[in-house]
Structure 1
Amino acid sequence: MKILAFAASSSRQSINKKLANYAAHQAANLAENAEVELLDINDYEIPLFSEDREKELGQPELAKAFFEKIGSADAIVISFAEHNGSYTAAYKNLFDWTSRIDQKVFQGKPTLLLATSPGPGGAGSVLAAATGSAPYFAAEVKGSMSVPSFYQNFDTETGELSNTELATQLTEAVVQLIS
């Protein structure tokens, strides 16, 4: 099983990348012969999407490569950062370009959607938007979960959730992802 994980964030120190990595490795530990590929969406930086740019550029190679990465996975873990209550510009741009290749961006893959933030909201607004729209883009959403107050609930030294209730909830979501 190949598990593709990434943060919908361009931050090099992304707490969402830490959460996605943790969840994906939990899934790999529970599944037989599983491997994790952790993507950095900074490796897929392309010009801002517009119809004019699309006419000029066609479909950027990096958007095609991102679509192919999704296609090669057996399961996907995404953790969303929240900027002003919505997706980060970096993720939204990559997603917009990729959806022009094929609206079924997630290609029917089992998907676990996560979000976290330093505050008590846990990026819940963007997670709700992602969870609501993902099926329209061919994601088989197996679970979604917000981790509030990241630094109080995640041990950055061990790379694990330190809140046992949240850890149990994530394990249950991960089991759904790989079943």
Structure 2
Amino acid sequence: MKVIAFAATNSTTSINKQLVSYAVSLLGNVEVELLDLNDYEMPLYSEDREKATGHPELAKQFLNKLNDADAIIISFAEHNGSYSVAYKNVFDWCSRIQHKVYQGKPMVLLATSPGAGGAQSVLAAANGSMPYFGAEVKASLSVPNFFDNFDTENQRMINPEWDDRLHSAMQQLLA
């Protein structure tokens, strides 16, 4: 099984990148590729730009990575209650190439934030829209109060309840 995983942000210090990296470590004997949205930075999507220049090669490359995966894990950063611009731009370009961006792949959707909300707003948006774009959402989990529940030095969940919930979500991907 090949899993593609990424944090839906371009922050180099992303707590969502830490969460998704830890989450894939729970999968056991599977091939994992962690993508970095910084490697897929493109001009802002617009219909005019698409007509003038076509689809960026980086969008095609990102979509090919998803095509080659058996499953996908995304951890969403919440910016003002919604997707980060970095994720939305990559997604918008990819959806113009292939509407069903996620191609029926099983997915686990994650989100975290430093506060008690745990990025629930963006996770709700993702849960609502992903199936429309071809995702088979197997599980989703919002982890609140990231710095109280995750050891950033050792890169692991320290709250047993949240660790159990994350393990359960990852098992849904393998089921």
TM-score (norm 2): 0.98
Residues in 2 aligned to 1:24 and 1:73: alpha-carbon distance in whole angstroms: 14
The residue identity in structure 2 corresponding to 1:125 is S
1:131 aligns with 2:149: no
Question: Which ranges in structure 1 are unaligned for 5 or more consecutive residues?
Answer: none
Residues in 1 aligned to 2:3 and 2:23: alpha-carbon distance in whole angstroms: 10
Q: Work out whether residues 143 and 176 of structure 1, in 8 Å CA contact, stay in contact via their aligned partners in 2.
A: yes
Structure 1 runs (4+) deviating above 4 angstroms are none
Q: What do the CA deviations read for 1:49-105 (whole angstroms, capped 9, x no partner)?
A: 000000011011000000000011111110000000000011001100000011100
**1:149 CA drift (Å):** 0.7
1:150 aligns with 2:146: yes
1:75 aligns with 2:76: no
Partner SS for 2:26:
helix
Question: Which ranges in structure 2 are unaligned for 5 or more consecutive residues?
Answer: none
Report the counterpart of residue 6 of structure 1 in structure 2: 6
What RMSD in Å do the two structures reach over aligned CA positions?
0.7
Report the counterpart of residue 113 of structure 2 in structure 1: 117
Report the counterpart of residue 93 of structure 1 in structure 2: 89
Residues in 1 aligned to 2:24 and 2:51: alpha-carbon distance in whole angstroms: 37
Give the % identical residues. Answer: 63
- Residue-pair matches, total: 175
- 1:47-62 counterparts in 2 under 5 A? 47-62=43-58
TM-score (norm 1): 0.96
Q: Work out whether residues 4 and 24 of structure 1, in 8 Å CA contact, stay in contact via their aligned partners in 2.
A: no
Aligned with residue 59 of structure 2, among 57, 63, 67? 63
The residue identity in structure 2 corresponding to 1:88 is S
Partner SS for 2:51:
helix
